[in-house]
Amino acid sequence: MNTELFLVRKIALNRKSFSGFIIRIAIAAVALSVCTMIVATAMVNGFQKEIRKKVLSAWSHLYIRKFSLTNSLQEEPIPLAQDFYLNKNLIPEARHIQPTAHKGGLLKTNTDFEGIVLKGLSDDFDVSNFASYIRKGDFPAYAGALDERDIIISRILANRLKLDTGQRVTVSFIGNNIRNRPFRVRAIYETGLEEFDRYFAFVKLNVIQQLNGWGQDTVGEFEVFLKEENLFKPRWKSYLLIIARPFLNDDAVEALARDPLDDIRLRIDARLSNPTLELQTIKAKVPGIFDWLELQSMNEFIILLLMIIVAAINMITALLILIMERTHTIGILKALGSTDFSIRKLFLYYSAIITGVGLLIGNVIGIGLCLLQKHFQLIRLPQDSYYLSYAPVELNYAWIALLNIATIIITLLILLGPTAIITRITPVKAIRFD
């Protein structure tokens, strides 16, 4: 018979005892900490996944363009007949490659105007990536079905200029001579990424080619969509970088900071046969968004660390109170021949019950809240600040299991210290303790 476990079950499950009350308080504290950790990590994971999905729907993983020391909207033309475009096997990591080009201009109505960037859609433009962001109008299933007079604008531009689908607008291009080109608003889109929606409008690629005086065999750049999904820095690398940065040299910091996307860029870049071309990642194109996402990982780490510390402190406090409250019992057990190890094991059983029940309740509440948010989107957000109109959640059950295991290990290791007090308690003083 396990005497220690028998005693713990009798005391811990006794609702009328002071020990039972302390245990219930400690269980509630652990449950709250675990619930907070699950909700925090699910929301951070959801934010990162949804925003990356939006960014890669508006842009792409990689860009191949003419090497330039400037970041001008006036692109340097490159031939369409590139080896990697004609023979997709040269970049086996690519899911899709599409040519495009950009042109800056002024979108004008009779009363107002806005600066925009026209993006040219080729016949093989990946419509599936972008179609879900169309809010009004007709976005064709095949980009080649666009008419040269069609333009697709964002909801931000439509609201500012009071435009609707079917209306006529003019885009002016400033060069040696001012040129005006009429368009018809075919559709209105909204990605929620203000950096994109505020400026970009879509037309057929050959419209940009005509405006730039290029032939149909010339484009501005190639967008490369990769097959793999996990192309950004794993969470463990972010955490390790936060913890170990002061102790690492520059090479080690750079290795941890580099994403799988950077490694793929280097591999593909080494295979490009044209030295006049450069390969750029989406992180270099819109660094602000990815810096913001990286900051979310930092916030997540801080929340997890604080919650584990809170849980551990509550456990230590509860255990010390239980030891003080059961000092008389400890003295009797020692007088009856129980060893220090046996009594320490008794209080570790206390801790195991508190941790186990707290984890169970915290997981049920935390996962339940996440599922409610996922299906009913109860928490709404201002889209202009967070890029999303609701708080997204992404439950990673492997990560939740890891959080539970880490909580158990850390709390039990921390509790080995307080239980050492038991070895200093002598039977005579403990029995006389009141």
- Yes or no: say if 134 and 187 are a contact pair by the CB < 8 Å rule: yes
Average predicted confidence (pLDDT) for the chain: 86
- Yes or no: say if 369 and 36 are a contact pair by the CB < 8 Å rule: no
Question: What pLDDT, in 10s, does the model give residues 257-280?
Answer: 888 898 899 899 888 877 889 999
The most confident of 6-15, 33-42, 289-298, 343-352, by mean pLDDT: 33-42
Residue 351, pLDDT score: 81
Residue 391, pLDDT score: 93
b/e burial code for range 238-272 (CB count within 10 A of at least 16 → b): bbebeeeeeeeeeeeeeebeebebbebbeebeeeb
Mean per-residue pLDDT, 2-16 = 63
**How does residue 136 score in pLDDT terms, banded at 50, 70 and 90?**
very high
Give the CA-trace dihedral at 113, 119, 125, 126, to 10 degrees: -70
Question: What pLDDT, in 10s, does the model give residues 362-403?
Answer: 999 999 999 999 999 999 988 878 888 899 999 999 999 999
Residue 2, pLDDT score: 67
Structure tokens at 263: 């490694």
Structure tokens at 42: 């699910």
Question: What pLDDT, in 10s, does the model give residues 310-345?
Answer: 888 888 888 787 777 777 777 777 777 777 777 777
DSSP 66-115: E--SS--SSPPPEES--HHHH-GGGSTTEEEEEEE-EEEEEEE-SS-EEE
- Of 78-92, 306-320, 419-433, the one with minimum mean pLDDT is 419-433
Q: Which residues pair with 266 in a beta bridge?
A: none
**How does residue 226 score in pLDDT terms, banded at 50, 70 and 90?**
very high
Return d(Cα 96, Cα 88) in angstroms, integer: 8
Question: Domain-by-domain residue ranges, the chain?
Answer: 3-53+289-432, 62-226
